[in-house]
Amino acid sequence: MKIAQKSIKFLIIIFIALFSATIFASDSDKKHDNQNDGGRVNTKEEINDYIKHHLADSHDFSLFSYTNDEGDRKHVGFPLPVIIWTTEGLVAFMSSEFHHNDDGHVIVEKDGLKFAKIHSKIYELDEGAAQVSFDETHHATNAHKVLDFSITKSVVGILIAAFLIFFGFSRLAKQYKTKSIPTGLGRALEPLVLYVRDEIARPNIGEKKYKKFMPYLLTVFFFIWILNLMGLTPIGFNVTGQIAITVCLAIFTLIIYITNGSKDFWMHTLWMPGVPKLLRPILAVLELAGYLLIKPFSLLVRLFANITAGHSVVMGIAALMLLLKAEFGTVGATGISFFLTLFLTVIEVLVAFLQAFIFTMLSALFIGMAVEEHEHH
């Protein structure tokens, strides 16, 4: 199936761009080793910090915490590779070498260089510095940022989504070559592919030109949908809730409809017919602003805001078991929190599909507006 094969090519391009985009996405690490309670989350402020951590990217995975028989708080997770570009070149090590303690930031020494993680950003200490010095605004005065190419949680999520899409579309394309009706995974994917084609691509782009853009639309639909579903798992993925990721996806749509714009599209944008010539330059500026800024901005903000808000609400409701424990008891507060969280999670499953549909549909709409050919009388 040519469409499925082309989707793989689009996926590879998108992955490379999104991998680079995660460099600029903010990341955060849990404040586990609290001096007072060993990292337990009890107060409203601690809950807010925990939710912010869940929404942000991170250099490692924190799965769960528990208290052992000695009363020590233990945190279970696994590190990820830290890959940074320094003054001496490329340096790599595992994120487990960074950790919080009561004395301050731990200094990691590699290849004769010293590094510290400050506010979840990796800094290289100046030559001769043994510890990080801060000014009155808590900014490092003897360290500078490095270019961070680390494999963060978001990158891991992108890799998993890329593998699932590559595997699924490869199976579907292979079955179309040998069978008239797909089976297994291919049979589950086929209705979704037909849905994107018949309900999104054809109505918005048109019968003549929709096939050219099907690989991109299929790729972006499944990519966003899978990542949205992964964000509902307890592991802590929030890839589509990172503004850098949604910006990159919106830029792809922008590039596609700008580079494929028809002659009529540019004529109506830059020198709109049927209006007084004095107004045409003004309308040209407004039209260009709409296509270059407003439409991509609406794409990126809608996806980012909805996913971020959904995660915040679900985790806030889950935290009710802590806030209501004094009034309703442990069992009552847990029951209230459980049923409300379950209800909202079911809604979020629908939202995961809905946001993928909306992003793909709007992308198809913008592409259709650019490639449309007008009839002139």
Which tens digit of pLDDT belongs to each residue from 312-327? 888 888 777 777 776 7
Q: How many helices (H) and strands (E) does the chain have?
A: 12, 11
Q: Are strands 60-67 and 104-105 parallel, antiparallel or unpaired?
A: unpaired
Phi, psi dihedral angles at 23 (to 5 degrees)? -60, -35
Q: How far apart are CA 99 and CA 269, in angstroms?
A: 54
Query: For residue 358, what pLDDT is reported?
Result: 95
Q: Please state the separation of Cα 296 from the chain's center in Å.
A: 16
> Are 3 and 189 a contacting pair, CB within 8 Å?
no
Query: For residue 303, what pLDDT is reported?
Result: 93
122: β partners:
117
Q: What is the pTM of this model?
A: 0.81
Structure tokens at 222: 């499944």
287: β partners:
none
Q: What per-residue string of b and e applies to 317-354 under the rule 16 or more CB within 10 Å gives b?
A: bbbbbbebbeeeeeeebbeebeebbeebeeebeebbee
In this prediction, residues 15-39 reach a mean pLDDT of 43
Q: Which band of pLDDT confidence, cut at 50, 70 and 90, is reported for residue 21?
A: very low
DSSP state of 376: -
> Are 99 and 106 a contacting pair, CB within 8 Å?
yes
> Are 94 and 79 a contacting pair, CB within 8 Å?
yes
Long-range contacts of 3-7 (CB under 8 A, 24+ apart): 3/193, 3/211, 3/214, 3/215, 3/218, 4/169, 4/170, 4/172, 4/173, 4/176, 4/193, 4/218, 5/169, 5/173, 6/214, 6/215, 7/165, 7/169, 7/214, 7/215, 7/216, 7/218, 7/219
Apex 171 CA angle, 360 and 241, nearest 5: 35
Least confident of 84-93, 198-207, 272-281: 272-281
Query: For residue 18, what pLDDT is reported?
Result: 46
Q: Which band of pLDDT confidence, cut at 50, 70 and 90, is reported for residue 6?
A: low
Please indicate whether residue 100 or residue 20 has the higher confidence score (pLDDT): 100
Query: For residue 41, what pLDDT is reported?
Result: 63
Q: Map tokens 């209501």 to a residue.
A: 324
Query: For residue 8, what pLDDT is reported?
Result: 54
Contacts (Cβ under 8 Å, ≥6 apart) of 338: 321
- Work out the end-to-end distance of the chain between its first and last CA atoms, rounded to an integer number of angstroms: 40
Instruction: Round the average pLDDT of the chain to a whole number and report it.
Output: 80
Phi, psi dihedral angles at 370 (to 5 degrees)? -80, -35
